[in-house]
Structure 1
Amino acid sequence: METDNTEDIESLIEDMQYIPGHFHLELSLNCDPVGPVNLRFRDTLLKQESLQAELEVEVGHLQYAVRNLLGLLAFHLDQPDKAEEIFRYKTLTSSVKVRQREIILIMLSVWILVILAASNRNTTLAWCYVGIMLERKDEFSSVPMSIHDCGFSASDPLSCFGTVTFILNLLAKIIFLLGKHDMATGICNMALNILPDPELNWEAYCMRAKINVVVYVNQLEKAKHGMGGVPERQKLADARKDLDKVLTVRPCLRTHLEMAQIYYYMGVDALQETIMVDESSINHALVSLSKALQFKPADSLPDLHVLRGRCLLIKGEEQNAAECFKQAMELERPGSTDTTTLHCLLLTLLNLFILEASDPSSAITQLETWVNKAEERYPQERVKSELRSLYRTHTEEVTELSKTLIRTGRLGLVKRLLETVAPQQLAERRPLARAFSLS
């Protein structure tokens, strides 16, 4: 007589932090809407694109879970026809081939866990995974047991190739997130040795390019703080080659944006981003950004506008750059602690003030307006920190700005600047002009 395990299963689920599968994803679709409409639309659209890429490599019943989520996202994006088409989809894939791919996926997943456990020096855990694999050796014995065998399997060789490279690309992402850049690059190289066609294995090229850019940026930050030598610009050249291959077969928003970043770094000095060394590369970056803007959610990405503003700023187009930074700041989430956009905008408006010395009223008005907006969007301490940084790195310019503000009776911004460089008590007890000690 069979026993009813319903209660046990329900109690088990209640104790879980999340239900296995895609159901633990924080999609926030059935909750009350929060945040600006354009940002909610952007986030939903980006989730849809991410799942669409995942669907290309999912096998077995997992693909139905992904399709269900894609249908749900399409519905929330006001795409009812597309949602209906997705929900009506029926697969014709042979169950035997699907089962073979599932087993290969399990086998390679166990291999990944062994590598991760070993890399963290948890050999006990690694041997546990090996034990699991050995217990299921009868099931695994009917499928190819090596990458080489997968490639020359009598049935479905391309499918096996795709599964193996998918796992390797996933492993590269995990290793990259752990900060092991050399190891992640090596895994990308393995995936590309197996399947070098950029149309079928574009993710490996993108991942390798991203690693090279991140390594370059890390080297750049260390060099700026006197902790290393000049960053390797060859990293940028290698990343550009990889993305060139991807763009020939799969042009998309992300790739164009990453290519623009590469061209930007190729166009500026290796240590001082305020110095342009190759105008052609900066122009290429702007072209890549223009191509990225042709994709639907691009205009709502603050990073894109910040990068475009930086390119325009280094070309001497301060006002156009300021407009880009303003647009990026409008797209920041309220309460954000990342004030990179504010930093760029303040610096640009200060430059405009210096350039328009004969009639600086426009630059001053913009500064007052956007400092007020910044205080509504970012935590107060973050805004003060940026103003303090502006004063410390551009003391002469800020001093001249303060003199002009006092002379024209616009004391609100002066007070904010004063509070960043003097104790609060000092600002309260002394008259504003004397406290600032301007000559």
Structure 2
Amino acid sequence: MAEPEAAAEELDALIDHLGYLPGHFHLEMQLNFEPRSPASLHARDLKLQRDGLRQELVLAAATQRPAVRHLLGAFAFYLEELDEARESFLQVAREDPGNLNAWANLAHVYGRLGQEEEAEACVGRLAGLMGLAGDRGAAGDTPLRAARCLAEQGYAHGFDVGCASPEERARVLEAGIELYDKALGHGQQAIEIAKDKPPILNHLAKIFHFLGKQDMAIGTCNMALDILRDPELNWQAYCTRAKIHVRAYLHDLERSKMGLGGMPDRNHLACAKADLEEVVKVCPGLKTYLDIGQVYYYMGVDAVQELLAVDEAALNQALVFLAKAGESELGATLPELQLLRGKCLRIKGEEANAVACFKRAVELDDAGSSHTEAFGCLLEALMAQWSQAQLSDGELGSEVDAWLRCAQDKYPAARLRQELQRVWRGHTGEVLGLARALVAQGRPALVRLLFETMAREGEGTGPWRGRRAFSFGGP
């Protein structure tokens, strides 16, 4: 073997020639950049992805496990669990001594641990496997090693953490597809092998789903399930197909609320429920509980007026699954879980418990988040408590004051304005009553702040035309 320094130089030259670099810590993924969210929220997202990957590892085919272990190691690294990261990469190296990513990732971890000799030994091993140091025997399988290296890197892009927008997420997935294309070029095994490989089909289905190609995603899931219908061995296909049906229902629901289409097809919910019930039997976990809880929620409420229950048993079942999701440490940190639980409780008439859930959801939302629904639901629930004499005028004024200021610090101004407009339009009478109560308390500045959003909506469309003429007095 060449000296470590010489091997490293030769390795750099070879990388320039080959056009790829082993390892996961250099990839153009948000995971490898400085996180934009607070450390606690970034750690939460990493742990959520790791939780799902641990489930995948249990049921993954042997050929797919190294790709999963690499990601588990990367997540452990960024969670400052360096011993666990090292063990993940070592396990890949033990099971597959020719795995290029394993040695590159180990070198990175050893470097962080300050174990320079071990890091250099890994670089030397990597150089040999890539065809350096005159070891022709070791270089014989270089094209296949390169193909596996690139395929594992492409796989990683589907589990990136920290993308700020759907557009950014799409760019990451496209980069992953490019790596798969390179892998096929090195391995000379085209997409033909995907036709009877459920793990590959499932990964393609997820990508098609995210990119909005739902017919292709459904077709790919069905192909995977035709090959392997057992949910214990192919639960990923059931999960993806369920997500597609839920997305279709929510898309049609939003169009219906805007007057752009008819009622959403509730058959989507039935199909999603059937798939997720298969999954929850064999692979229960936080994400599955949350997904099936969401499906039961929409089955339990009227599609036009969500505050009307149409199936009390479905709502109760939603709460059961949401409670199971909330039992885990990670579940307690998810704003979407608190929001959904609060919506269920409010429909059941448990306003105080619903308010507590909505407050927690707002607290858990990331700074800069555009998901303002929890704040809107909180305002609606507070006004409902006030109209039912569960809150006094003073208590309502204090609550609205405190949570509006919290929302201003958390959400983008334009998105917050849209949420306030939605609440005001749906609850005109309550809002006017709130305004009168706040003026009586000597809070005209707060009233002006609330109605200022209406004044900006455009000169006089909708129910708030002319509200600029309201005079509340005071400074």
Give the alignment's TM-score, normalised by structure 2.
0.69
Q: Are 1:344 and 2:377 an aligned pair?
A: yes
Partner of 1:283: 316
Q: Are 1:241 and 2:274 an aligned pair?
A: yes
* Cα 1:136–1:395 shift into 2, 3 Å: closer
Give the conservation status (yes or no) of the 8 Å contact 2:15–2:21: no
Separation in structure 2 between the aligned mates of residue 282 and residue 259 of structure 1, nearest angstrom: 11
**Aligned partner of 2:209 among 152, 176, 184:** 176
* Cα 1:281–1:49 shift into 2, 3 Å: same
**Aligned partner of 1:26 among 20, 23, 30:** 30
1:28-43 to 2 correspondences below 5 Å: 28=32, 31=34, 35-43=37-45
Q: Which stretch has the larger CA shift, 193-202 or 219-228? A: 219-228
SS at match of 1:27: helix
* Cα 1:75–1:434 shift into 2, 3 Å: closer
Give 1:27's aligned amino acid.
L
Separation in structure 1 between the aligned mates of residue 189 and residue 61 of structure 2, nearest angstrom: 20
Deviation at 1:87, TM superposition (A): 4.3
Give 2:328's aligned amino acid.
F
* Cα 1:218–1:80 shift into 2, 3 Å: same
Give the conservation status (yes or no) of the 8 Å contact 1:406–1:414: yes
Deviation at 1:71, TM superposition (A): 3.1
Separation in structure 1 between the aligned mates of residue 186 and residue 431 of structure 2, nearest angstrom: 70
* Cα 1:213–1:65 shift into 2, 3 Å: closer
Separation in structure 2 between the aligned mates of residue 69 and residue 169 of structure 1, nearest angstrom: 17
Partner of 1:436: 470
Give 2:361's aligned amino acid.
A
* Cα 1:68–1:146 shift into 2, 3 Å: closer
* Deviations 1:105-145 (CA, angstroms, capped at 9, x unpaired): 98xx9xxxxxxxxxxxxxxxxxxx99x98x999x769xx97
Partner of 1:273: 306
Identity of aligned residues (%): 42
Partner of 2:116: none
* Deviations 1:173-220 (CA, angstroms, capped at 9, x unpaired): 222223232332122111111000101100000011111111111111
Give the conservation status (yes or no) of the 8 Å contact 1:268–1:277: yes
Partner of 2:72: 70
Give the conservation status (yes or no) of the 8 Å contact 2:55–2:283: no
Partner of 1:300: 333
Deviation at 1:311, TM superposition (A): 0.6
Give 1:192's aligned amino acid.
L
1:269-418 to 2 correspondences below 5 Å: 269-356=302-389, 359-418=392-451
Partner of 2:463: none
Q: Which stretch has the larger CA shift, 294-303 or 198-207? A: 294-303
1:151-170 to 2 correspondences below 5 Å: 164-170=197-203
Q: Which stretch has the larger CA shift, 179-188 or 248-257? A: 179-188
Partner of 1:232: 265
Partner of 1:197: 230
- What is the root-mean-square deviation of aligned Cα atoms in Å? 4.0
**Aligned partner of 2:291 among 242, 246, 258:** 258
* Cα 1:94–1:410 shift into 2, 3 Å: closer
Give the conservation status (yes or no) of the 8 Å contact 2:201–2:224: yes
Separation in structure 2 between the aligned mates of residue 183 and residue 344 of structure 1, nearest angstrom: 36
Separation in structure 2 between the aligned mates of residue 81 and residue 21 of structure 1, nearest angstrom: 18
SS at match of 1:296: coil
Separation in structure 2 between the aligned mates of residue 406 and residue 434 of structure 1, nearest angstrom: 16
* Cα 1:190–1:52 shift into 2, 3 Å: same
Gaps of 5+ in 1: 110-128, 148-160, 427-432
SS at match of 1:226: coil
* Deviations 1:15-64 (CA, angstroms, capped at 9, x unpaired): x9x967633232258x5x7654431320221232354456564876x865
**Aligned partner of 1:216 among 225, 249, 255:** 249
Separation in structure 1 between the aligned mates of residue 68 and residue 451 of structure 2, nearest angstrom: 55
Q: Are 1:86 and 2:80 an aligned pair?
A: no
* Deviations 1:270-315 (CA, angstroms, capped at 9, x unpaired): 2221211111111100100011112231111111111111111111
Gaps of 5+ in 2: 1-8, 99-140, 155-179, 460-466
Deviation at 1:384, TM superposition (A): 3.1
Separation in structure 2 between the aligned mates of residue 330 and residue 172 of structure 1, nearest angstrom: 34
Alignment coverage as a number of residue pairs: 379
Give the conservation status (yes or no) of the 8 Å contact 2:394–2:441: no
* Cα 1:35–1:216 shift into 2, 3 Å: closer
Give the alignment's TM-score, normalised by structure 1.
0.74
SS at match of 2:262: coil
Separation in structure 1 between the aligned mates of residue 193 and residue 69 of structure 2, nearest angstrom: 30
Deviation at 1:400, TM superposition (A): 0.9
More relative contact order in 1 or in 2 (CA 8 Å, sep 6+)?
A: 2
